């Protein structure tokens, strides 16, 4: 009998929920579409995939809420990707287009973009607005996760 732990990871390609053995996240492939579960690139998600990512995944989800017309959003895009290279698979990186998903953006209370949200098990852990370099994204995300693990 094995004492290994597993957790649920939502595929960024097809949104299927996968059970992955702890420590195997970097090499794991989706059981449905066979794509890698983590590839170091933020996933562009629609509303349904976003909801599945934040509600069904056991890993925290860092969300970049952006729009294609937003200059600071376009500047931050490559920085968000660099941060994904550094922090995956400890957290999932997704991009939510606020123009395409206005109802979700409104429900999330997005007032300005770019806005990053760190979500875990369906609830918001942290939020910050404004473009930032990858080093600042990584530091902010780690700080938010550390506050979650600290007993209240």
User: What span, in angstroms and rounded, lies between the C-alpha atoms of 50 and 3?
Assistant: 32
For residue 139, give the H/E element and its range: helix 134-149
34-58 burial, b for 16+ CB within 10 Å, e for fewer? Answer: eebbbeeebbebebebbebbbebbb
Is 73 one of the annotated active-site residues of the chain? yes
User: What span, in angstroms and rounded, lies between the C-alpha atoms of 8 and 28?
Assistant: 12
Question: Which position among 11, 14, 33, 73 bears the catalytic label?
Answer: 73
Question: Which position among 11, 30, 33, 70 bears the catalytic label?
Answer: 70
DSSP for 23-68?
Answer: T-TTT-B-TTT--BS--SSPEEE-HHHHHHHHHH-SS-EEEEEE-T
> Annotated active-site positions, please?
70, 73
């Amino acid at each position: 009998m094995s004492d290994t732990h597993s957790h649920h990871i939502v595929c960024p390609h097809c949104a299927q929920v996968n059970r992955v053995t702890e420590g195997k996240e970097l090499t794991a492939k989706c059981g449905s579409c066979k794509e890698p579960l983590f590839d170091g690139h933020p996933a562009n998600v629609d509303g349904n995939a976003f909801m599945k990512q934040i509600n069904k995944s056991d890993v925290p989800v860092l969300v970049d809420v952006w729009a294609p017309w937003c200059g600071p959003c376009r500047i931050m895009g490559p920085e968000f990707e660099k941060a994904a290279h550094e922090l995956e698979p400890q957290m999932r990186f997704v991009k939510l287009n606020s123009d395409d998903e206005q109802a979700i953006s409104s429900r999330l209370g997005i007032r300005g973009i770019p806005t990053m949200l760190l979500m875990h098990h369906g609830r918001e852990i942290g939020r910050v607005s404004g473009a930032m370099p990858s080093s600042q994204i990584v530091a902010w995300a780690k700080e938010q996760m550390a506050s979650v693990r600290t007993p209240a």
